[in-house]
Amino acid sequence: MDVCPIDLAVSDDELLCISRERLLALTLAEMKALQAYFSSDRGDCRAAKNGLGALATDVEVEVLAQTWSEHCKHKIFNAEIEYTDERGERTRICSLFDTYIKGATGRSERSWEA
């Protein structure tokens, strides 16, 4: 698979589209930080010396997105989610992590402890 350039010199809406389409889970502020970094000189001599062009690459953007995530407790797990089930019942979940992961641990009877 080839490394693909990504033009980040785009509108705010297009930045959000890039984040959404590439499943980066980056906010507009985070995308704008990438945009600012890659629009600066970003060590163009170093980039050219290492075979990189002026545009960000998909690899660079993905590495930064992963670095900025919260690792095991990714920020998506802390998001507010509105879910509609097959019966049309709507549920709002404030943090999947707190509700289902941390919450299940807290509700545990801990029968393994004597």
Q: What is the pLDDT of residue 106?
A: 62
In a domain, 33, yes or no: yes
Residues 66-113: pLDDT tens digits? 877 765 456 667 778 888 989 999 999 888 777 776 766 566 554 545
For residue 114, pLDDT over 50 is answered with no
Regarding whether 28 and 11 lie in a shared domain, the answer is yes
- The C-alpha atoms of residue 57 and residue 4 are separated, in whole angstroms, by 5
0.85 exceeded by the pTM? no
* Token representation of residue 84: 């509609």
The predicted model gives 22-41 an average pLDDT of 88
- The C-alpha atoms of residue 53 and residue 56 are separated, in whole angstroms, by 8
Residues 24-33: pLDDT tens digits? 988 899 899 9
* Token representation of residue 65: 């997105």
Regarding whether 9 and 59 lie in a shared domain, the answer is yes
Structural domain of 102: 75-107
